[in-house]
Amino acid sequence: MSRRRIGLLARLAKALELEPASIDEPAERGRILPEAPKEPGAELVVIVLLLLASCCAAGFIAVFADSRIPHATQFLGLSLGLAFGFLAAALVVIARCLVVTEELTHDYPPEEHQEAERELEQLFDESRERFTRRRLLVATSALTGTAMGAALLAPVVSFGPVFDLSAFVETPWFRGRRLVGDDGAPLKASAIQEADFYTAYPEGADREQLAAPLVLVRLPGSAIHLPSGRSGWAPGGILAYSKICTHAACAISLYRTPTFPAVEPGPALVCPCHYSTFDPATGGTVLFGPAGRPLPQLPLEVDSDGVLRATGNFSGPVGPSWWGIRSRKPT
Amino acid sequence: MSRYALIVSVLALATVPAASAASGPPPVGIVEASSGAGLYAANCSSCHGPGGEGILPPGRPGVGDLVGEGPSLRNVGAATVDFYLRSGYMPLANPHIQPWQSRVLLTNREIKKLVAYVSSFGHGPPIPHPDPASGSLPAGYALFTENCAGCHQVAAEGGYVTGARVPPLDGLTDVEVAEAVRTGPYVMPKFTPQAISNAQLNSIIRYVDYVQHPQDPGGWSIGRIGPVPEGLVAWLIGAALLVAFCRVVGRRARYE
């Protein structure tokens, strides 16, 4: 090799710092930081870890690009995780072995300018002299602060009905309204079998209203013991209750129906959220769970075509409880 | 010394529940017989009555210390009998415990004879023949979520309803799922063809087949029961590892 080429290679190696470079002599001033030992071994470890991190990152790109690899999710996670892991290890090595550290302690400085501090205190006291009724002024300012704070917070009540609660008791049900199934077709009494449960809605009403969905079950007439005033609410043993749990307004989607009623737990509508359990045979009474009110029942009749119709409104307000709920009737 | 004692005692307390026996009804024996009537008389009649009429509480003394009580088997149909026998729900050691999937002690031939004999007690639904391949998996997912997931959990891992445990659906065949849906075993509702049509049932069964061995793209499914075990992994494994790493890498500040 010619001399010029050796020189070029040597300068390239020096530029890439393949060998640890020696430091120059310090400048004219004395040292500020203490002399720290050189760690070329640690530098080599850092370089290797960073190269490994780069390889893992490249591996992530390769796995992402190739769609034929099985368990690709696991390899993607492994490659990216290892890339971050190697980077973290390199940073730890730098922090432990290559960063110059020193610990210094200083005492608090002595107090200065004591005369200026006393002057400042006197200045403060003298500048308060023009106020003669300080307590009254403070009280009036407090009143203003309270009133203005209340004024700024007042629009918050617009977020929902606070004083006018009629929206909570409105239902889409009235005498004569037909029940329809999920497909919108009128629900016939003959479609309701025992040991099964059905969801129904009011015909032509908005299904998103809280009081719209119903859950229907059929029980043998001898098993039904409704509260007084509800005779005739269950034609042929068909019972309709609001599907909305009176605890936290989840939809009641569990039905427990015994095969051997003599030893098994009786029929019950159960809410999947917190397991409020309602007894359809006794008018929706709460058997178990956090619900505070019985499930509202809707009175039914079967019209001349065999279709189920409501004959009135619910036995109580629908949905979770709120202040004054027991004194309101649904409309 | 005290730190090691604490670690050992925590580990001991954690492993003791795992070492206890698996839950389920106590094991039952089967009396062999050559005919369906003989099998019924030897294994079923002490709770269900000699003619399948059922025995109401307070029950009738049966074999050993068993007091027999059981529902009537009139008009239950071949589907019901086939389901209860193939899933191991029956025979039941004690009429007051919940039937549960258990080891089937009857042979296939014995089950067929019993099904033929008990379904002769009246008229009931025959054994269904579902066709899940003709169902749609996305439709099955939607139907299962709407009708079944409330009790059985969306990945069919089982759960609870007030007063009963709800079983997971792994290990059930297509026919058993169809039978359970149509006959409503124990406290499960009975879904008639008006409520869930045969085509919808095919889709539901196709979904149940899938969810018995679903894809787990994340790798570790942690039982497929939702965010609580995933949170446990994050806090008890992830956070613990992070804290341990900080202890190893870091250094406490020292004050003179």
Contacting A with CB below 8 Å, chain B residues are: 56-57, 69-71, 95-96, 146, 150-151, 160-164, 184-192, 194-195, 217-219, 249, 256
Residue B79 lies in a domain: yes
Report domain A167-310's class: mainly beta
Mean pLDDT (chain A, rounded): 90
Cα distance between residue A291 and residue A247, in whole Å = 4
Smallest Cα–Cα separation from A216: which of A292, A290, A114, A284? A284
State the nearest Cα–Cα gap between A83 and chain B, in angstroms: 17
Cα distance between residue A300 and residue A312, in whole Å = 8
Residue B185 lies in a domain: yes
Confidence bin at A153 (pLDDT 50/70/90):
very high
Using CB atoms, pick whichever of A191, A253, A257 lies closest to residue B184. A257
| Burial grade of A99 (CB within 10 A; 0-12, 13-18, 19 or more) | exposed
Model pLDDT, residue A28? 64
Range of the domain at B62: 27-123
ipTM (interface pTM): 0.79
State the nearest Cα–Cα gap between B150 and chain A, in angstroms: 6
pLDDT tens-place string over residues A69-122 = 887 889 999 999 999 999 999 999 999 889 887 777 888 888 888 899 899 999
Count how many pairs of residues, chain A against chain B, have C-beta atoms within 8 Å: 80
DSSP bridge pairs for B61: B67
The answer to whether A314 touches A171, Cβ cutoff 8 Å, is yes
> Domain containing B172 — which CATH number?
1.10.760.10
Q: Work out the average pLDDT over A274-300.
A: 95
Cα distance between residue B54 and residue B48, in whole Å = 4
Residue B99 lies in a domain: yes
The answer to whether A192 touches A216, Cβ cutoff 8 Å, is yes
Residue of chain A whose Cα is closest to the Cα of B254? A103
What six digits make up the tokens of B84? 């209860």
Contacts A74 to B, Cβ<8 Å? 219
State the nearest Cα–Cα gap between B145 and chain A, in angstroms: 10
State the nearest Cα–Cα gap between B179 and chain A, in angstroms: 15
What six digits make up the tokens of B98? 């919940």
Model pLDDT, residue A26? 55
The more confident residue out of B222 and A241 is A241
Residue of chain A whose Cα is closest to the Cα of B57? A262
Model pLDDT, residue B177? 97
Is the same domain home to B115 and B132?
no
Residue of chain B whose Cα is closest to the Cα of A252? B150
What six digits make up the tokens of A236? 């042929």
Model pLDDT, residue A323? 77
DSSP bridge pairs for A255: A269
Q: How do A254-256 and A238-242 pair as beta strands?
A: unpaired
Cα distance between residue A242 and residue A297, in whole Å = 6
SS3 A285: strand
Cα distance between residue B241 and residue A299, in whole Å = 60
What six digits make up the tokens of A115? 């005369």
pLDDT tens-place string over residues A191-200 = 999 999 999 9
Model pLDDT, residue A42? 93
Cis peptide before B138 (omega within 30 of 0): no
Is the same domain home to B114 and B141?
no
Using CB atoms, pick whichever of A71, A92, A197 lies closest to residue B189. A197
Residue B179 lies in a domain: yes
Model pLDDT, residue B20? 47
Considering its fold, how many domains does chain B have in total?
Answer: 2
Cross-chain residue pair A92–B188, CB shorter than 8 Å: no
Residue B15 lies in a domain: no
Query: What distance lies between CA B171 and its chain's CA centroid?
Result: 9
Query: What distance lies between CA A194 and its chain's CA centroid?
Result: 39
Contacts B188 to A, Cβ<8 Å? 257
Distances (CA, A) of A314 to A242, A283, A285, B194: 8, 11, 14, 27
Residue of chain B whose Cα is closest to the Cα of A197? B189
Confidence bin at A25 (pLDDT 50/70/90):
low
Model pLDDT, residue B40? 93
State the nearest Cα–Cα gap between A275 and chain B, in angstroms: 7
Confidence bin at A38 (pLDDT 50/70/90):
confident
Q: Work out the average pLDDT over A268-297.
A: 95
SS (H, E, C) chain B: CHHHHHHHHHHHHHHHHHHCCCCCCCCCCCCCCCCHHHHHHHHCHHHHCCCCCCEEEEEEECCCCCEEEECCCCCCHHHHHHHHHHCCCCCCCCCCCCCCCCCCCCCHHHHHHHHHHHHCCCCCCCCCCCCHHHCCHHHHHHHHHHHCHHHHCCCCCCEEECCEEECCCCCCCHHHHHHHHHHCCCCCCCCCCCCCCHHHHHHHHHHHHHHHCCCCCCCCCHHHCCHHHHHHHHHHHHHHHHHHHHHHHCCCCCCC
Is the same domain home to B32 and B112?
yes
Q: Work out the average pLDDT over A182-207.
A: 92
Residue of chain B whose Cα is closest to the Cα of A265? B163
Residue B190 lies in a domain: yes
Residue B249 lies in a domain: no
Cross-chain residue pair A270–B71, CB shorter than 8 Å: no
Cis peptide before B91 (omega within 30 of 0): yes
Residue B238 lies in a domain: no
Is the same domain home to B195 and B145?
yes
The more confident residue out of B192 and A277 is A277
Which of B123, B142, B166 is the C-terminal boundary of a domain?
B123
Which of B123, B151, B186 is the C-terminal boundary of a domain?
B123
Is the same domain home to B138 and B117?
no
Confidence bin at A27 (pLDDT 50/70/90):
low
Is the same domain home to B156 and B210?
yes
Contacts A259 to B, Cβ<8 Å? 71, 184-187
Own/partner contacts of A119-124, CB < 8 Å, gap of 24 or more, are: none
What six digits make up the tokens of A46? 């850092």
Cross-chain residue pair A195–B164, CB shorter than 8 Å: no
The size of chain A, in residues, is 331
Model pLDDT, residue B14? 59
Smallest Cα–Cα separation from B37: which of B105, B118, B92, B93? B118
Model pLDDT, residue B21? 47
Q: Work out the average pLDDT over A42-52.
A: 96
Below-70 pLDDT ranges, chain B: 1-2, 10, 12-28, 63, 255-256
